[in-house]
């Protein structure tokens, strides 16, 4: 942990009104895109960011929150002390954490093709930031390192996505691209599977060795223009109850994605 004298030298400034206005504006996609940055909140995520290859432009926090980060603060371009009321004004959370970071967004890049034995999650127009963050976190758990999104999918750097991913966005590469073009670029050895309410029960057969699992929009499902690329429709059926007796009409998108990741990686045989 830093000594008080050394911490004072690193901080140098209190948060001012212009910075409060700037950081608060980053809760909006337009401002994040304009400035090329995003916001991450909480000691765990900020600590991981400071230890990563991401460029942290500023860390804002209470004196204790900053002190807990210790020498890692030297990796940020700026460090600013903030009061609890200041953090309330710039935070996206009802109960703000003690530390928050503004981070440079990485340059967009194109997704790579899955290599032998790899699985990829493709998301078509997913809108809920909590769902995207949870899917990224679950992919990280199952060792899936690539999530490919349609351009209409919620921004991965939305503060709610960052929060829900719990740092997994640092280890799972998330790309935005035209899914039709992406699917067209894949070799025949890659199976493209679509999640549908009605389809072949995934647990009745083995998962493909290499493939892409497509998860559609929360209410509309997979877009019609993607259907020609779906080689197999899969569903999740765990019991033999008639549909009218199961209660829920469908699974939440992130829950369905998690179950299919369990199936696709074979972890239902060895981990549960």
HEC assignment per residue over the chain: CCCHHHHHHHHCEECCHHHHHHHHHCCCHHHHHHHCEEEEECHHHHHHHHCCCCCEEEEEECHHHHHHHHHHHHHCCCEEECCHHHHHHHCCCCCCCCEEEEEECCCCCCCCCCCCCCEEEEECCCCCHHHHHHHHHHHHHCCCCEEEECCCCCCCCCHHHHHHHCCHHHCCEEEECCHHHHHHHCCCCCEEEEEEEEEEEHHHCCCCCCEEEEECECCCECCHHHHHHCCEEEECCCCCCCHHHCCCCCCCHHHHHHHHHHHHCCHHHHCC
Report the Cα–Cα distance between both ends of the chain, in Å, rounded. 39
Q: What total of structural domains would you count in the chain? A: 2
Same domain as 64, residue 193: no
Is 228 contained in some domain?
yes
- Closest C-alpha to 232, from 198, 254, 200, 260: 200
pLDDT at 264: 94
The residues that bridge with 13 in the sheet, in sequence order, are 80
The residue segments making up the domain with residue 154 are 119-267
Residue 179 lies in a domain: yes
Nearest CA to 39 out of 93, 75, 2, 1 is that of 93
The low-confidence residues of the chain, meaning pLDDT below 70, are: 1-12, 238-249, 267-272
For the full predicted model, state whether its pTM sits above 0.85: yes
Q: How far apart are CA 11 and CA 204, in angstroms?
A: 58
Is residue 114 included in any domain, yes or no? Answer: no
pLDDT of residue 183: 98
CATH of the domain at 22: 3.30.1330.30
Question: 241 and 126 share a domain?
Answer: yes
CATH of the domain at 223: 3.40.1280.10
Q: Are residues 176 and 72 in the same domain?
A: no
Q: Are 98 and 62 in contact (CB under 8 A)?
A: yes
Domain termination site, one of 64, 80, 104: 104
Q: What is the pLDDT of residue 150?
A: 98
- The first and second tokens of residue 45, run together, are 């995520």
Residues 163 and 58 in one domain: no
Residue 199 Cα to chain centre, angstroms: 27
Q: pLDDT digits over 37-53, tens only?
A: 999 999 999 999 999 99
**Of 47, 72, 104, the domain-final residue:** 104
Query: What pLDDT was estimated at residue 272?
Result: 33
Whole-number pLDDT of residue 173: 96
Same domain, 135 and 262: yes
For position 271, what pLDDT does the model report?
Answer: 37
Residue 198 confidence (pLDDT) = 87
How many angstroms from the chain centroid is the CA of residue 267? 21
Please indicate, yes or no, if residue 110 is contained in any of the structural domains.
no
């Amino acid at each position: 942990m830093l000594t008080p004298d050394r911490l004072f030298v690193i901080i140098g400034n209190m948060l001012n009104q212009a910075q409060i206005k700037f950081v608060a504006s980053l809760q909006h996609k337009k401002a994040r895109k304009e400035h090329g940055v995003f916001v991450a909140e909480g000691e765990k995520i900020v600590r991981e960011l400071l230890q990563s290859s991401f460029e942290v432009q500023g860390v804002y926090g209470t004196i204790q929150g900053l002190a807990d980060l210790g020498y890692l603060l030297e990796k940020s371009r700026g460090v600013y002390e903030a009061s609890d009321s200041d953090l309330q004004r710039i935070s996206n959370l009802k109960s703000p954490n003690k530390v928050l970071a503004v981070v440079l967004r990485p340059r967009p890049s194109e997704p790579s093709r899955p290599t032998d034995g790899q699985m990829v999650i493709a998301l078509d127009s997913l809108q809920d930031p909590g769902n995207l963050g949870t899917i990224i976190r679950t992919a990280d758990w199952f060792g899936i390192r690539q999530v490919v999104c349609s351009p209409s999918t919620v921004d991965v750097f939305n503060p709610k996505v960052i929060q829900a991913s719990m740092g997994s966005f640092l280890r799972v590469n998330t790309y935005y691209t035209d899914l039709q073009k992406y699917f067209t670029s894949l070799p025949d050895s890659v199976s493209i599977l679509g999640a549908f309410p009605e389809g072949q029960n995934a647990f009745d057969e083995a998962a493909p060795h290499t493939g892409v699992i497509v998860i559609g929009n929360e209410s509309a499902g997979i877009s019609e223009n993607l259907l020609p690329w779906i080689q197999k429709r899969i569903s999740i059926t765990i019991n033999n109850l008639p549909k009218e007796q199961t209660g829920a009409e469908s699974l939440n998108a992130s829950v369905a994605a998690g179950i299919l990741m369990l199936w696709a990686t074979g972890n239902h045989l060895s981990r549960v």
